[in-house]
Amino acid sequence: MGGSKYSAYEEIRQTIHEYTKYNESISIQTLPVYHLEPNTRITVKNKESNIYGDYMIESLSFTFDNSSMLTINATRAPEKI
């Protein structure tokens, strides 16, 4: 019997966690939040859209007009297995 810390199961679990992408993506429009940047993990809780969970920001875009809105495109972050 070998140890379980460096087993094939642990290696596969870590690989799946790192490289599995979900197709669940969202787009959010909000007032500018200047400290956000791509690859930042955010938590979303929206009762109206029934969207809950952690998402990774893929891209950000600003509009520089009277409305000054920030659009965030994000993909659901994989959960630890």
pTM: 0.66
Tally of structural domains, the chain: 1
In a domain, 50, yes or no: yes
Hey, what are 43's tokens?
């938590």
Specify if 3 maps to a domain.
no
Contact partners, residue 69, CB within 8 Å, separation at least 6:
29, 30, 31, 32, 62, 63
The answer to whether residue 54 sits within a structural domain is yes
Interval 53-61 mean pLDDT: 93
Which tokens hold the place of 4?
């379980």
Q: Give me the domain span that covers residue 71.
A: 8-76
Q: Is residue 48 part of a domain?
A: yes
Torsion angle of C-alpha atoms 49, 51, 56, 57, degrees rounded to 10 = 10
Check whether 28 has a pLDDT greater than 70. yes
Residue 1: band (very low, low, confident or very high) from pLDDT cuts 50, 70, 90: very low
In a domain, 81, yes or no: no
71 in a structural domain? yes
